[in-house]
Chain A
Amino acid sequence: MFSRNRTIISLLLLGVLNAQSVFNAYGLGLSKSTHHTASAGAGSIGLVPTFHPGVSFDNPATWPGLQFTYVSGSYSNRSIEIGSQVSSNYGNGFDKIQFVIPIQNRFAIGLSLKPVNDHNAYFKTDSTRMSFQGRDLTFNKEFRSGGGILAGSFGFAIPMNDRMGLGLSFDKLFGSSRDEESLILNSIHYRLFNIKTYSGSVFNINYAGKFYDAKNVMVTGYARISMTSEPVSGTQYQFDLFEDINDNYSFDTDDYPATIDVDTIKVSNIYAPSSFSLGLNAEFNNDLNIFGEFQLWNDQATNGKYTSIYKDQIGSKSHVGGGLVKFGKMGARSWQDRITMRFGIFKESYLLKNSGRKINENGITVGFGFKFAATGNQLDVAYRTGARFMTNDYKESIQEFTIGLSLGDIWFLRRREK
């Protein structure tokens, strides 16, 4: 079954570019709150169940609730419109690739690969004119950044008792990014590049527990504590400014000066995320779930001396959100009954470390998931619309379309005795 759908998964992984945002030019960019399509459909940070009753792919503590082993991929496409800009900017990329194996309904292990932050930005300034002893000089600037930190994650779930479970995961952070600054004077580009590599690690403790279980309603609670194990360090390659005479974006023999220096700088403790998250979910007997989530996220890095286009960094973030999920039934005869419906609303606030300025983001999400085949395959689709803005500054209107495909198979599960 996995091989049959390999082509589809490959197609989903074609793009690697997230939609740009001016705000991604601050430090390492905005941290991503949502990874799996099911979570995205409900505007969730991944604590509460959104994929399957009692299960969130983003919360290892809930993985034992899976009935099958899954390979799952999520891929998003986002358009961002800046202020009154006529045209929109588009970007796309994978949000998560995941492999989860539930073991005897009590344990689970999983592997995943996901982007941690969004560093993609491409913007330019208006033309600036200045007079220099009777000569008019007109110039503008362009800035680009891309790449970022990925997390390769290993997690497992263990039961605490028949009402509670723990999920532990270890995220190895790695990756590289590049940013380019250029000034265009008389159609000649003066460019400089910075290339950075990253390495660090984070571990997460996830909790899932059943708090109240009555005939008509069941209340479950979820929590996550994320702590930095090894703050992100890396190498920063700073290329000197050069005149890109042939405008080919790279330094070569046609450019000026004839040689440029590259400063190789080891940087440490540039990113050390920690967070505390809480979630509550009320499940009613008609499969309707109402949830609420709250998260406090903080970057405790002590070293701010690494390059970014804007000389400020995201220091902290808070998230408040809630929504509804009505799960579909896998064995339902009618295909309409197999559809999971999701709706969510959230608000996030980012705080810049140096200036203290706040970036606000809010969104409304809807999504659905369709179960098919006997092994719990699920196709999830999510749509999000919202805004991101800084007071008296840029405002971005965001629309995001995400698709996820989760393919199930039977591994390590109790077989029915013949």
Chain B
Amino acid sequence: MNINILNTTLGVCLVGLLVLSACEEAAIPVGVDNTPITLDTISFPVVKAIAYQSPPEMGRTEYLYFGKQDGFDFQYNLIKFDSTSVTANTPFSYFNDSLIVVDSLRLSLRFDKDSITSDAEFQLRYFPSGGDSVFNELESNYLNFNQAIASEIISTAQMEADSIDTNKTEVYLNFTLDSSIVNAFRDTSVLEYNRSFLVELANESSESFYFHSTDIQAGIKPELTVFYRQFLSDTVVLDTTSRSYLAVADISIITPAPISFEDSTTLSVSIGKGLKSIVFVDMGDWTLPSKSIVSSAQIIFNRVESDSIAQFKVISHPMTSEGIYERFTSFMDDPYDEDLNFFTSTALIDNVLKINHRKAATEIGHKNFTNFGFKLQSSFNNDPFTTVQFYGINNTDSYPVMRVIYVLP
């Protein structure tokens, strides 16, 4: 009897404890007074802002451009190929072997469309005397590149269709090259040969042609194919085989379209026109409280045009030197270096651009970084020939402003 009572009591107590232990622990609601960690805000005016022009930077666009379009003149394209092949990592020095005979080379560019719309002829040059480097994808432009260092025309070609299957056709521009070209590539007297070509239209055209560049996200990059045979003995030779080399850098050298009045009087950005803008946010002697964290530090811009636009992103960095804000200026080189550690890329939404520069604002607020202002430029993923204009500081309603929200411990 006693043992039964004990066991029952023990069981009830343990079950009760365990059941209660499993209950959820909910937060107790309390008032906000006297609690630590707070939110604070501050707004800073943009006191200086101006657009400027520098030569177009076309090295990271998704296409290589030929012809003319909307006032832009696409002069020629420069392409550099990899030093080793896609398969087998074969270097060009491989073809120095006396048992290897190069038959020909082919340089292929993938046309943006799936049908041939023109019989335009293209021509190809290379740089036998160009040494180890011919162009810089990030710096070369129509003002600083000398086309005269290229060779004579080594090949011409027209676009041709390549039927993948019954439903799909791809259009390529295929240049066939003489095997002698490979001699320059395999020359061991130059430590790292430039492996570069210049492609241009044979004749001026009012049309424009887009070909996939090495920066395209989904497409076929420029490719150089070497066809060769290998002799196993004086009499035994293997069938022709090939190695493919992909482009590692390319750029369209273009002459920008004329700058409009709106381009120069608003905060405008465009890759093709080389338009960028700089703004100076007057943050005064603002100090971010110690241990605080900036939730957002948005510089807000309103687009001048009210129509809808395809996705457009703006890249922004803080500058590392003072800006000149007196008037719109065209520069031979971009005079404003930026701190790449504070890169931001912001999409335009509902014609409002909100660039969150909280990392830069944090460093400025902690006095670790000098506020020289911020630079705006078009993202390389945008259509390079689209210009977007934002209101400047003279607009009474839609002027730019910086709004900072931060949390204090």
Contacts and interface: CB of A to CB of B under 8 A. Distances in A.
Interface residues of B, number: 42
Contacts of B244: none
Tell me what chain A mostly uses at the interface: helix, strand, loop, or mixed: strand
B17 interface: yes
A60 to B, nearest CB: 27
Contacts of B14: 8, 11-12, 403
Given A91-B25, A181-B409, A257-B362, A123 B30 contact: yes
Nearest to B24: A90
B6 A379 contact: yes
B184 interface: no
Contact of B291 (A125, A188, A241): A241
B29 interface: yes
Contacts of B35: 125, 141, 143, 309-310
Nearest to A368: B9
B27 A123 contact: yes
Interface string B1-21: 110011001100110111011
A185 B36 contact: no
Nearest to A124: B27
A89 B28 contact: yes
A20 interface: yes
B20 A126 contact: no
A190 B293 contact: yes
Contact of A311 (B27, B36, B407): B36
A64 B394 CA distance: 91
A185 B295 contact: yes
B405 A137 contact: yes
A130 interface: yes
Contacts of A79: 20, 23
B407 A183 contact: yes
Interface residues of A, number: 61
B38 interface: yes
A256 B23 CA distance: 34
Interface in B360-409: 362, 401, 403, 405, 407, 409
A42 to B, nearest CB: 18
Contacts of A335: 1-2, 5
Contacts of B10: 8, 379
A255 to B, nearest CB: 10
B28 A22 contact: yes
B269 to A, nearest CB: 25
Contacts of A17: 25
A125 B37 CA distance: 12
B17 A401 contact: yes
B31 interface: yes
B292 interface: yes
B36 to A, nearest CB: 6
Contacts of A20: 25, 28
Nearest to A87: B26
Contacts of A82: 28-29
A397 to B, nearest CB: 12
B229 interface: no
Nearest to A122: B27
B39 interface: yes
Interface in A239-270: 240-243, 256-257
Tell me what chain B mostly uses at the interface: helix, strand, loop, or mixed: mixed
B25 A241 contact: no
A370 B31 contact: no
A132 B359 CA distance: 21
B214 to A, nearest CB: 30
B30 A22 contact: yes
B36 A90 contact: no
B31 A90 contact: no
Residue of A14, A132, A140, A381 with most chain B CB atoms under a 10 A cut-off? A132
A75 interface: yes
A92 B20 contact: yes
A75 B25 contact: no
B34 interface: yes
Contacts of A8: 10, 14
Given A132-B403, A401-B20, A188 B30 contact: no
A181 to B, nearest CB: 5
A181 B23 contact: no
Interface in A153-193: 181-183, 185, 188, 190, 192
A18 to B, nearest CB: 11
A185 B39 contact: yes
B108 to A, nearest CB: 41
A188 B13 CA distance: 42
Given A75-B17, A82-B28, A190-B293, A132 B41 contact: yes
B408 to A, nearest CB: 8
B32 to A, nearest CB: 4
B13 A381 contact: yes
Contacts of B104: none
A77 interface: yes
A183 B38 contact: yes
The 7 closest A-B pairs by CB, nearest first: A123-B28, A90-B23, A124-B27, A125-B32, A190-B407, A77-B20, A132-B41
15 contacts: A12-B17, A14-B21, A124-B30, A125-B29, A125-B30, A125-B32, A130-B41, A133-B401, A181-B37, A181-B409, A185-B407, A190-B37, A192-B291, A243-B293, A309-B36
Interface of A: 8, 11-12, 14-15, 17, 20, 22, 75, 77, 79-80, 82, 85, 87-92, 121-126, 128, 130, 132-133, 135, 137, 139-143, 181-183, 185, 188, 190, 192, 240-243, 256-257, 309-311, 335, 370, 372, 379, 381, 394, 401, 403
Given A15-B21, A181-B409, 18 more contacts: A12-B14, A77-B21, A79-B23, A88-B23, A90-B20, A121-B28, A123-B27, A124-B29, A126-B32, A133-B401, A133-B403, A185-B39, A192-B37, A241-B409, A309-B36, A311-B34, A379-B6, A394-B30
